[in-house]
């Protein structure tokens, strides 16, 4: 008889002689990692409850621009949101996580919309009729590493 771990070996933890360590990322490092991420997750309030959706994004300076279709209930008003992206290897457990908290507002200027449409190449499904800019107030990041050899 096989166990679930035998059926799904990617869920088993590799043998490790040392625990992972974490390191806080600088704002510049965090933003650089966001530019390399294929997608992220936006967290916003819907009916006074947190809602999380995957979104394609780009980093423009220190702002994050995402596609968010109008049906997502991300309101057309300014609102506080969080944006998260990460890459963590399931086998080695090395990777990083960046969280941006700030104010989201719809992009309505036709020139800006045209510029961002050329820069942002979405691949997630769904309508692409709405773009939102996140102005960060807080940018935090953490990297998970192997410990330094002694």
Using the 8-state DSSP alphabet, how is residue 28 labeled?
H
pTM for this predicted structure: 0.80
Q: Using CA atoms, how far apart are residues 71 and 126, in angstroms rounded to an integer?
A: 10
Average pLDDT over residues 47-72: 85
Give phi and psi for 115, each to the nearest 5.
-65, -50
**For the segment 74-119, what is each residue's pLDDT rounded down to a tens digit?**
656 778 999 999 999 888 889 999 999 999 999 999 999 989 988 8
75-84 CB burial, b ≥16 within 10 A, e <16: eeeeeebbbb
**For the segment 33-51, what is each residue's pLDDT rounded down to a tens digit?**
999 998 999 999 888 889 8
Q: Are 121 and 56 in contact (CB under 8 A)?
A: yes
């Amino acid at each position: 008889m096989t166990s679930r771990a035998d059926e799904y070996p990617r869920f088993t933890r590799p043998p490790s002689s040392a625990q992972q360590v974490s390191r806080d990322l600088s704002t510049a490092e965090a933003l650089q990692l966001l530019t390399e991420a294929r997608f992220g997750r936006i967290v916003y309030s819907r009916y006074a409850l947190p809602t999380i959706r995957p979104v394609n994004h780009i980093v423009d300076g220190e702002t994050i621009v995402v596609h968010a279709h109008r049906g997502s209930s991300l309101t057309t008003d300014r609102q506080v949101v969080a944006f998260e992206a990460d890459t963590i290897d399931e086998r080695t457990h090395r990777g990083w996580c960046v969280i941006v908290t700030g104010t989201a507002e719809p992009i309505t200027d036709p020139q800006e919309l045209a510029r961002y449409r050329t820069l942002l190449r979405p691949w997630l499904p769904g309508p692409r009729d709405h773009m939102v800019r996140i102005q960060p107030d807080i940018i935090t990041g953490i990297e998970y590493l192997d410990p330094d050899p002694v």
